[in-house]
Chains A and B, each alone.
Chain A
């Protein structure tokens, strides 16, 4: 199954509907991570906070294709997506491995992914550069085999999403 996470409602193209699950994070109840590490050292793979995030992070692990749509703030994902990504740490283990020469957490067993990140808003060139660095860092921890980043304005988001989502579904 493919997964689309978005921080706002978007019309999902017909071609994506059968093969993808769509979550509009703005309509979900997702608290921030407490940093308790319970999902590593008390109830491995399971978050202590029983809100909507517990429906999503298993889907992140199980997806082969992931499309994230997020407003960009200062070169970072804006709050809804950032909060969700932080809540996805049950996908990882506490234990650390060497990965591309750096220390990173072991993965619990998520599928390798092709990811498309659609960042929108009024994004300066500098912010785009920071965001590229952020996604490349996240790629190590989210098992991205390949990823692509597309930036667009808020006004053009729906149109860009339609075009990119169709190409993503067909890839």
Chain B
């Protein structure tokens, strides 16, 4: 007992920001951690590993204001075939928006999952600007809070933390526009092309 497992719940697990967050967490955690990724392991594999662990950290991005559906599916499988040992579940969630509070609904959903299935809820870290923060000068802020998260789980002194980029909303809008324009530019697209109103090549309906 005492082992910590990480479950990366991002649908693009191998190339995800969640993977970067999980790696930073693993570096900060004083003991060895074992990492699983949704889509790359079966719920049964995680379930078996959970029998010998004390903590499970879920790392995932906010999707449509909730949990990404592959993570939901995974948790539903776990509901059907639960482990005998229920580890403490902690959460590291990130959203692309500036406000870390936009993650709150997803956290409530997970809190309910834990309550319903008998898992104690541990620490929570909410990250705002999570799509970009690791590639900005504010990376150190994210790393600092991840260290706090790791420390709280290791000491069993669970708490809630949050971090975002210390920018005004207007500055964030400008910075995010530049970020996305550069993503489009790499594919030969202008901002106008990226903003086209057509959806599946259909013109927009009259308003």
Contact = CB atoms under 8 A, between A and B. Distances in A.
Interface of A: 32-37, 40-42, 44-46, 54, 57-58, 61-62, 73-77, 79, 82-83, 85-86, 88-91, 93-98, 102-104, 106, 108-112, 126-127, 130, 133-134, 137-138, 141
B35 to A, nearest CB: 18
Contacts of A36: 12
B99 A35 contact: no
Contacts of A74: 109-110, 112-113, 116
A138 B76 CA distance: 22
Contacts of B110: 74
Nearest to A30: B69
B98 interface: yes
Interface in B122-173: 169, 172-173
A35 B12 contact: yes
A103 B172 contact: yes
B202 to A, nearest CB: 5
Interface of B: 10-12, 16, 61, 63-70, 72-73, 76, 96-99, 102, 104-105, 108-110, 112-113, 116, 169, 172-173, 176-177, 180, 183-184, 186-187, 189, 191, 193-202, 204-205, 207
B199 A57 contact: yes
8 contacts: A86-B64, A91-B199, A103-B98, A108-B198, A109-B199, A130-B108, A130-B109, A134-B65
B11 A34 contact: yes
Contacts of A89: 64
Given A41-B187, A41-B194, A111-B205, A130 B112 contact: yes
Contacts of A110: 199, 204
Interface centre among B63, B97, B173, B177, by most A CB within 10 Å? B63
Contacts of A85: 64
Given A41-B183, A62-B204, A102-B99, 14 more contacts: A32-B11, A35-B11, A35-B63, A41-B184, A41-B194, A45-B200, A46-B201, A58-B202, A79-B72, A82-B66, A82-B72, A95-B194, A108-B197, A137-B105
A133 B107 CA distance: 12
Nearest to A82: B69
Q: Would you list the 3 A-B pairs with minimal beta carbon distance, nearest first?
A: A109-B204, A137-B65, A109-B197
B108 to A, nearest CB: 5
B68 A86 contact: yes
